[in-house]
């Protein structure tokens, strides 16, 4: 069983090192293989997703990715983020899972990841008009909705489908298809909610939600809002799953080039993403729970600077490993 590790840029190699140590402690039988990706790959190969890296990811059982991005390429024609979009599409990891847990809040956002506005036709016309096209097929909506209902069955049996059906044709399609899928899950309660109301409810009463399912751009925005309500992006993990092949597991935060190399980055989001990998990638729920509990204990005993403490990345990692 093989995991391809993509350290990425900025603080990526630092948090990846902690994750590798945790995997070696909890699942020493798993093989770890490292490849370049992102800005570092542009520098070495002229491509944020070299073919060698893509081939390795296709052959892997799971992909663990660090954050990418570098100010050097912000205005460049080839950017690290282009490699990420291509990797998601090539692996067809259409269901992005973003858990948000803190106190009474325990929700899961299921974001459609390989369709919609981010993958539609875009461009700039001769008169300077810019356009981006949002498209969805019924099949794209059905599979991510079905994934959300299946996950809800393992939780509190409630799905909130988020759209903008009062304005957008793609949202009206979304609502129709979700209603059709819901017929196969009579044990799960379904509600529909417009995205603006969903944002307000997340900010005011996030504890009311169980599983939210929504399209790509709405999910991108709402999942960051949910993360802010439960500790911030520095603690937020994610898992992107398809029906076959490797899943993609990554922290939500950016590459933070301003603190890279200083040994102070908080690796909690990467470690929580590693726990999702163990659970959803390999079905190792016991090891996943052990890692999650070790991270929670380290957050309390050895908080890093972003959380008001003074623990270094190395010290935080040592505290986690002590609980593994």
Catalytic residues: 118, 164, 196, 220, 224
HSE (CB half, 13 Å, CA atoms) of 302? 22
CB atoms within 10 A of CB 282: 17
- Helix residue spans in the chain (DSSP H): 12-26, 39-45, 51-59, 80-91, 138-153, 169-182, 195-204, 216-229, 268-276, 282, 285-301, 313-322
Q: Where are the beta strands (DSSP E) in 224-284?
A: 237-241, 247-251
Q: Residues 35, 279: contact at Cβ < 8 Å?
A: no
Q: Residues 213, 110: contact at Cβ < 8 Å?
A: yes
CB atoms within 10 A of CB 144: 29
Element at 5 (helix H, strand E): strand 2-6
Structure tokens at 302: 């050895």
């Amino acid at each position: 069983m093989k995991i391809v590790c993509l350290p990425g840029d900025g603080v990526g190699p630092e948090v990846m090192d902690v994750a590798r140590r945790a995997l070696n402690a909890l699942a020493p039988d798993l093989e770890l293989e490292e490849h370049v990706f992102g800005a570092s790959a542009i520098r070495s190969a002229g491509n944020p997703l070299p073919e060698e890296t893509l081939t390795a990811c296709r052959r892997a059982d799971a992909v663990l990715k660090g954050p990418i991005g570098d100010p050097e390429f912000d205005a460049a024609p080839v950017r690290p983020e282009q490699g990420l979009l291509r990797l998601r599409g090539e692996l067809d990891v259409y269901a992005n899972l973003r858990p948000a847990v803190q106190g009474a809040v325990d929700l899961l956002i299921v974001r459609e990841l390989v369709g919609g506005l981010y993958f539609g036709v875009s461009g700039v016309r001769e008169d300077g008009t810019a356009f981006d096209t949002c498209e969805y097929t019924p099949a794209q909506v059905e599979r991510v909705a079905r994934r959300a209902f299946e996950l809800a069955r393992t939780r509190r049996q409630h799905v909130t489908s988020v759209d903008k059906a009062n304005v957008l044709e793609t949202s009206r399609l979304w609502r129709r298809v979700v209603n059709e899928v819901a017929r196969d899950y009579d044990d799960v309660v379904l509600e529909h909610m417009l995205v603006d109301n969903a944002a307000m409810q997340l900010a005011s009463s996030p504890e009311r939600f169980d599983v939210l399912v929504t399209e790509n751009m709405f999910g991108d925005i709402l999942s960051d809002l949910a993360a802010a309500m439960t500790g911030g992006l520095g603690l937020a993990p994610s898992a992107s799953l398809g029906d076959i092949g490797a899943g993609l597991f990554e922290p939500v935060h950016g590459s933070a080039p301003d603190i890279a190399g200083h040994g102070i980055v908080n690796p909690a989001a990467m470690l929580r993403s590693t726990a999702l990998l163990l659970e959803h990638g390999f079905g190792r729920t016991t090891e996943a729970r052990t890692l999650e509990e070790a991270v929670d204990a380290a957050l309390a005993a050895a908080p890093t600077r972003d959380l008001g403490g003074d623990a270094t990345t190395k010290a935080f990692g040592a505290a986690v490993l002590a609980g593994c």
